[in-house]
Amino acid sequence: MTNHTPQWDGIVVGASLATLDAASGYGEIVDAALAWRDGLLTYVGPRAGLPGAPSALARQVIEADGWITPALVDCHTHLVFAGDRAREFEQRLQGATYEEIARAGGGIVSSVRATRAADEDELLRQSLPRARALVADGATTLEIKSGYGLDLDSERKMLRVARRIGQQLGIDVRCTYLAAHALPPEFKDRADDYIEAVCQWLPQLHAEGLVDAVDAFCEGIGFSPAQTRRVFEAARALGVPVKLHADQLSDLGGAALTAEFGGLSADHVEYTSVEGVRAMAARGTVAVLLPGAFHVLRETRLPPLDAFREHGVAMAIATDCNPGTSPLLSMRQAMQLACTHFRLTPEEALRGATVHAARALGLADRGVLRNGLRADFVHWQVGHPAELCYWLGGRLAQAVYAAGQRISGQGRP
């Protein structure tokens, strides 16, 4: 007897696909079909190539128009925090610099005070809406950093909230330990002692399953290259990958230091030298561009984009969602800003928000529409993928899927 049980959990037919499954171009397939089972893609191709009628192949058949792309990956966020820093935004517009605000007790330290004061449930309550906004605009993988706690219990609280966000929203959250973000008040003038504490806390939090990567802020108002190296060595001893806030305000060689440790990514990179670019290229370190912070801080120093292209350094894009310098709640807006400020093409921006962003998190199972990869995809109400970078605001995501499960959407595709 022939078994007519459908072999796939679901299939979308009729929309065009931007698979990104090639070295260049969108990888377009028109009048396409996209099928999945057990959270993985099982068919990516033209509808005409299906081995039978969609209704005989899948339990759920969705007729669609528009475009489907890989789901977006936000590979650099600080979205777990309490309070906000709207007043500092006003101060910057009145002429205060980022450094002046930080040295006067504002900046990161002001978010530390509010985050420490919030219990875990309150911190989750304040942070969930930000994550939901990112998901609604197409992101199904988020990196969330600690770094507004700056003591063991508060850093643990932040990382626990990040894990809970992933569980509640049905998305993949990668947790990054960023205790080396700023010097807390209780360690004033004792930066080396604080770095020692950061290195001691790391094994405890890693043993609790709360750390997927380690980051630091290597800058004049942050930590020195030597102090950053100590943090990286502690991470390497545990086999934890590293990434770095590198060369944002000056060139301290942060990108090259990250590459020396085989780091996943160097982020910001406005002041990265050609030598740093070459080091990143040699080790496969991704450059994460953060146009939200560039925009809010009204920066003028562009990252070395031509050098990244020349040396084959992959360029990812992320929101840098944070309360002070990038209160950005849309990966699509980050893509638009990257096109406007950094002159990326819409294709480069889409790749930067998908396949390259996944690589910046060490993830090879997403970011492209290909058989065997995660069924993370977005159905967009657009006539061409370039529209994702063209529209300023608005709601274009018709349906967002993570591992084959619809987690956000406006209506039936």
Q: Which residues make up each annotated binding site?
A: 76, 78, 85, 148, 181, 245, 248, 320, 322, 324-325
Dihedral sign of CA atoms 280, 285, 291, 292 in order:
negative
Residues at the binding site for Fe(3+) are 76, 78, 245, 320
d(Cα 350, Cα 389) in Å, to the nearest integer?
Answer: 8
d(Cα 218, Cα 201) in Å, to the nearest integer?
Answer: 19
Among 315, 324, 318, CA closest to 290:
318
**50's tokens:** 């299906």
Whether the Cβ atoms of residue 171 and residue 72 lie closer than 8 Å to each other = no
Residues at the binding site for 4-imidazolone-5-propanoate are 85, 148, 181, 248, 325
Among 16, 60, 6, 12, CA closest to 385:
16
Among 389, 369, 366, 395, CA closest to 171:
366
Give CA 292 to chain center in angstroms: 13
Residues at the binding site for N-formimidoyl-L-glutamate are 148, 322, 324
Residues at the binding site for Zn(2+) are 76, 78, 245, 320
Angle at 13 between CA 6 and CA 42, to 5 degrees: 50
